[in-house]
């Protein structure tokens, strides 16, 4: 039995709280993001953008599998299952996570791999926070790392990938991959400081 399996949920949550990081200083110290000095504030470092793009390239020929999701969420493979939805969704432990496109999932797995290579402490960051950081980083593409196209906001409300809710989106204007959704009512925006 693996260590994770013998841990109770309460123990896991407690440990996760203790290991929470401040995303911005953590990512800067790892060399993943840098200050830009303009209103955009933060961007990928060139070397990190290259690393992520390299993993995205690898993932063109590899299907995302249980191993990738288990690694992303720090869960044993037995606790990971692909959900049978018409959008991209996986369960890790008792939580179902969804992505606004297969590309968004590929991006998260690529980011996870890239951060793992440069920062050993990434593996200790709590699972939910890791997912949140990966989501935030989807907005850091200066151009689409899949097709070199233009990343854009669509301010016209559209239906969410994964519910009846109306959302505005961050997407690639060229390949149409949707990377993020923002709720209309209460802004669930990307907040690197929380
Ligand atoms: Zn694109």
Q: Is residue 91 part of a domain?
A: yes
- Ligand 1 centroid–CA 59 distance in Å is 15
Model confidence at 116, in pLDDT bands (50, 70, 90)? very high
Q: Once rounded to an integer, what is the mean pLDDT over residues 40-62?
A: 93
The reported pLDDT for the residue numbered 144 is 95
In a domain, 95, yes or no: yes
For 108, the domain range is 3-147
Number of structural domains (the chain) is 1
Mean pLDDT estimate for the chain:
89
Instruction: For residue 188, tell me if it sits in a domain.
Output: no
* Dist. CA 150 → ligand 1 center (Å): 7
In a domain? residue 184: no
In this prediction, residue 142 has a pLDDT band, given cuts at 50, 70 and 90, of confident
Q: Is residue 179 part of a domain?
A: no
Average pLDDT of the segment spanning 134-147: 93
Q: How far is the CA of 144 from the centre of ligand 1 (A)?
A: 5
Ligand 1 geometric centre to CA of 28 (Å): 26
Q: Give residue 180 CA to ligand 1 midpoint distance, Å.
A: 13
The Å distance, Cα 172 to ligand 1 centre, comes to 5
Task: Note the pTM of the prediction, 2 decimals.
Answer: 0.86
* Structural domain contains residue 186: no
Cα–ligand 1 centroid distance for 103 (angstroms): 9
Long-range contacts, 64-72 (Cβ 8 Å, 24+)? 64/102, 64/105, 64/106, 64/109, 68/109, 68/112, 69/109, 71/112, 71/116, 72/108, 72/109, 72/112, 72/130, 72/131, 72/134
């Amino acid at each position: 039995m693996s260590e994770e399996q013998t841990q109770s949920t309460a123990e896991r949550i407690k440990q996760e709280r203790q290991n929470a990081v401040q995303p911005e200083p953590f990512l800067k110290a790892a060399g993943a993001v840098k200050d830009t000095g303009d209103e955009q504030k933060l961007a990928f470092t060139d070397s990190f953008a290259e690393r992520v793009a390299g993993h995205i390239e690898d993932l063109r020929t590899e299907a995302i599998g249980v191993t990738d999701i288990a690694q992303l969420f720090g869960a044993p493979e037995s606790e990971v299952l692909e959900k049978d939805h018409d959008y991209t969704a996986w369960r890790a432990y008792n939580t179902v996570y969804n992505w606004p496109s297969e590309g968004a999932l590929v991006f998260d797995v690529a980011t996870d791999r890239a951060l793992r290579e440069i920062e050993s402490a990434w593996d200790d960051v709590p699972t939910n926070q890791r997912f949140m950081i990966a989501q935030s980083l989807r907005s850091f593409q200066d151009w689409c790392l899949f097709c070199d196209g233009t990343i854009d906001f669509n301010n016209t409300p559209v239906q969410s990938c994964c519910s009846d809710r109306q959302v505005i989106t961050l997407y690639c204007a060229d390949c149409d991959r949707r990377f993020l959704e923002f709720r209309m009512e209460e802004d669930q925006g990307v907040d690197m400081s929380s």
